[in-house]
Structure 1
């Protein structure tokens, strides 16, 4: 199904019904878009050259995030643990348990230019500041970076890798940090975008070649592009209420893919919103950057 919104052509390339579609990543090796459904745990892929859509069931209650790796397997979350999965054989190797004893789960992560995985945790009840931001080194070492987080989201990096963006969706704020790529230390946390007055929920994000950061707004039905100074220069309405995350993909990284969710929609809303839970593809919005790989960094 193809729709038009504010001069952009939006195509529902996989008309699924993801309960909580998330973490889309373009893999240049497979030339596929990969993403997960967190609450009906599965790893999915879409081949734009053929239209093929594949899905692999995943274990656990929540599959909170994923990352590409230098070895070609996949880093995946199961509840509060990270493991590596060989897509071909199904072989699994546990990496690390990030937290214990909290009613939390892993949610949203991204690899920096040195191959380190930055990931957050969130409160399963969506209101307690139980969550934290972590750095996972390729050897499995875990470092807690920040705390007092309700719902960790929106991890992204500037094109030079020296600015880390991190969102707490339920605090309605996106933060920016300075990142020292050599030692992985972050400093100078500041507010990048503040939506507390409106109560809007910034969710997943990605950065384009111009250094602008794109954010999906859960329950807000739109994408927003911020310049590096935080000012807004584009708002794009979507045909889904709950966009969750986004990334640029395709051979030239010029297709913006957006995951979405049926979560929290009433039966009446579901009936009125046939594209809820679908994977959307949007052309003509710019060009993205290749994803870094865990243990490797820049491709």
Structure 2
């Protein structure tokens, strides 16, 4: 291979690699909040001098962050019925409006927009559509939505809240009634329970747990054998861990952690969205901020933004993104998310 040709190949590879890599954000974002360590193990997760930065603001209730492989973040303003796109290079822009319910009859709806998101291997997005009361697949290129599940046992779902895909195609989601006016007292509510469900690739829907009052965030362990579910019930603010069989049924379950002490201390919020790092640590929205726990529920540290944290997601850029009430924040981590 001659020198000129080798130089050309190296230059082409460099351009391709640069195009695929996320842009570096050099803007001076405002530092907010604080990070607290409860255990020496936390030092391997976040640096002691790490900054929590606000990167976008002006939303009614930011939710459902999802980092896309092309180097941008998607997230929802659920009451605003809008999905936003944020990138280091371009900042914030409207990605999809309406993100959820597209009709005019919103009288019975409390939250008309979409909520939790997850990405599929082909780049499509799984969407917990709270307003339209279904699980859908969104094509980011065309913005076209395809319904995957809207009913269980002949009755409409309440208002799907969060969604996570297993590598075999099984999809786990929660269905509290937060999207309906009156919540549990809504006349539109058809399901007798607020369930944790599994949607199989064949389109069938299966109830995993119907005992939680307000099931919310969902996540899977790195080996996909454990399903984590947050319960946003102020009277029982817990996270549950379900041991799954090969099909995705729960062999058993246990209470992983409890946030009752945080609520008793006056912290605002409840267990909400969560994410799991590739080494098995849980990053869980909790009263007052975001708890970092090990796989046994032991508290290792706490991330505060100065507002309620609804959810979080890992980016490919070494950042953890947090949706926090009216804004979006980020913090650099030493651990990475799970690639599926």
TM-score tier, shorter chain, comes to 0.7 to 0.9
1:74-101, CA deviations, whole angstroms, 9 ceiling, x for partnerless residues?
Answer: 2223332122232222333222213575
Could you tell me which residue of structure 2 aligns to residue 41 of structure 1?
Answer: 81
Choose the corresponding residue for 1:178, options 237, 243, 252.
243
| Corresponding residue of 2:284 | 215
Shift of 1:146: 0.9
Please give the alpha-carbon distance, in whole angstroms, between the structure 1 residues aligned to 2:209 and 2:231.
11
Indicate the SS of the match to 1:148: coil
Q: Report the secondary structure of 2:159's partner residue.
A: strand
Could you list the runs of 5+ residues in structure 1 that have no partner in the other structure?
262-276, 291-297
| SS state at 1:123 partner | coil
- Which secondary structure does the structure 1 equivalent of 2:208 belong to? strand
- Cα offsets for 1:82-122 (capped at 9, x unmatched): 22232222333222213575793111111123221110111
Report deviation, 1:126.
Answer: 5.1
In structure 1, the residue matched to 2:298 is: 231
Deviates more, 1:101-110 or 1:150-159: 101-110
TM-score (norm 2): 0.72
- Bigger RCO of structures 1 and 2 (CA < 8 A, at least 6 apart): 1
Q: Which has more strand, going by share of residues? A: 1
Match of 2:208 in 1: 145
Rg larger for: 2
Structure having the higher helix fraction is 2
1:25 paired with 2:48, answer: no
Aligned partner (choices 50, 56, 62) of residue 14 of structure 1: 56
The answer to whether the aligner puts 1:281 opposite 2:297 as a matched pair is: no
Secondary structure of the residue aligned to 1:155 is strand
For each residue in 1:245-282, what CA deviation from the matched residue of structure 2 results, as whole angstroms up to 9, or x when unmatched?
A: 0011033xx20100122xxxxxxxxxxxxxxx111011
1:172-231 per-position Cα deviation (integer Å, ceiling 9, x unaligned): 010001122x321222210000223543611111111221101112xx331111111211
CA contact (8 A) 1:214 1:225 kept: yes
Structure 1 residues 226, 127: CA separation in 2 closer, same or farther (over 3 Å shift)?
Answer: farther
RMSD: 2.3
Structure 2 residue ranges without an equivalent (≥5): 1-28, 36-48, 102-111, 186-191, 264-268
Quick check: 2:215–2:231 contact (8 Å CA) kept in 1?
yes
Separation in 2, partners of 1:13, 1:205: 20
Q: Report the Cα distance in structure 2 between the residues aligned to 1:212 and 1:130, rounded to whole angstroms.
A: 30
User: CA offset at residue 285 of structure 1?
Assistant: 5.0
Q: Kindly indicate whether the alpha-carbon contact (under 8 Å) linking 1:208 and 1:286 is maintained by their aligned counterparts in 2.
A: yes
Q: Distance in 1 between matches of 2:230 and 2:215?
A: 6
Paired residues, number: 268
TM-score by length of 1: 0.81
Report which stretch shifted further, 220-229 or 99-108: 99-108
Is contact 1:14–1:53 with CA below 8 Å preserved after alignment?
Answer: no
Partners of 2:257 and 2:184 in 1: how far apart?
A: 20
Q: 1:97 aligns with which of 150, 171, 190?
A: 150
The structure-2 alpha-carbon separation of the partners of 1:229 and 1:82, relative to structure 1 and needing over 3 Å to count, comes to: closer
Partners of 2:90 and 2:122 lie apart in 1 by 25
Question: Alignment partner of 2:202: what SS?
Answer: coil
1:157 is aligned, of 206, 209, 220, to 220
**Which whole-Å CA distance do the structure 1 matches of 2:72 and 2:50 have between them?**
22
